[in-house]
Amino acid sequence: MAATTHISTRKGVGFGGVSAMIETLIERYSRYRIYRQTVNELASLSNRELADLGLSRSELRRVALQAAYD
């Protein structure tokens, strides 16, 4: 009968790893909020106001993505 005497743990996942993961989640959420806010604000404009900005309704998501992630 064999017995295991060696127990290994995951290395590199300590408090620093959790902290980095939390920072990444916060950053992703912040960028998503900027994206949603931009989409909502642009969607609330009339077609005339969007045309004055040189935009059409089909471009709103692209513009919001650029605002949040570029």
pTM score, two decimals?
0.71
End-to-end CA distance of the chain: 60
Contacts of 48 (CB under 8 A, 6+ apart): none
33 vs 51: CA distance, rounded Å: 25
Question: Which residue ranges make up each domain of the chain?
Answer: 19-69
Tens digits of per-residue pLDDT, 14-57? 667 889 999 999 999 999 999 999 999 999 999 999 999 999 99
